[in-house]
Amino acid sequence: MQKNIVLVALVSLIIGGLGTYAFVGKTAPEQQNGHMMPDGNMMSGSMSSGMEGEMDSMMMGLSGKTGDAFDKAFLSEMIMHHEGAVAMAEAALKDAKHAEIKAMANAIISAQNAEIAQMKEWQKAWYGTE
C-alpha cells in the first residue's frame, strides 16, 4: 500500500497536481501522522512537500553521476516515475467523475507506456538489463 501511495504522489506531478488522495480514498498526509516511503524517509506535512521530497530523492540518485552511470540511473528513476503515472491514470479511469480527467488519463497511459518501452529498450541495448 505504501508503494501505491508513492506512485500516486509521483503521478500527480504529471497530471498537474490533481487531488492525489481523491484517487486512493485517503486523507491528506497532514491529517495523518505520516507514513514511511520505500526509501525509508517519512512523508508528512503537505502533499507538495512530500512530492518535493520524493523528487529530491530521485534527483539525489543522479547526483555526482556522469556518463553511463548517470544514464543508467536516469533511466531507472524515470521508468519508476512513469510507472507511477500509469498507475495513477488507471485509478483515474476507474474512479474519476469528469470525462476530461478520464481523457487525460488515457493520454497519460498511452504516452507513458510508450516512453517506458523506449527506456527499457535502451536499458537492454546499452546495459543488458531491463
Task: Say how many domains are in the chain.
Answer: 1
Domain of residue 22: give its range. 2-127
Please list the pLDDT of the chain residue by residue as tens digits (130 residues).
444 444 444 444 444 443 333 334 433 333 333 434 444 444 444 444 566 666 677 788 788 989 999 999 999 999 999 999 999 999 999 999 999 999 999 999 999 999 999 999 999 999 998 7
pLDDT at 59: 80
pLDDT at 13: 46
Could you tell me the pTM of the whole model? 0.59
Nearest-angstrom CA–CA distance, 12 and 21: 10
In terms of Cα–Cα distance, which of 98, 59, 63, 97 is closest to 81? 59
Q: Residue 118 belongs to a domain with what CATH number? A: 1.20.1260
Q: Where are the alpha helices (DSSP H) in 28-98?
A: 47-60, 67-95
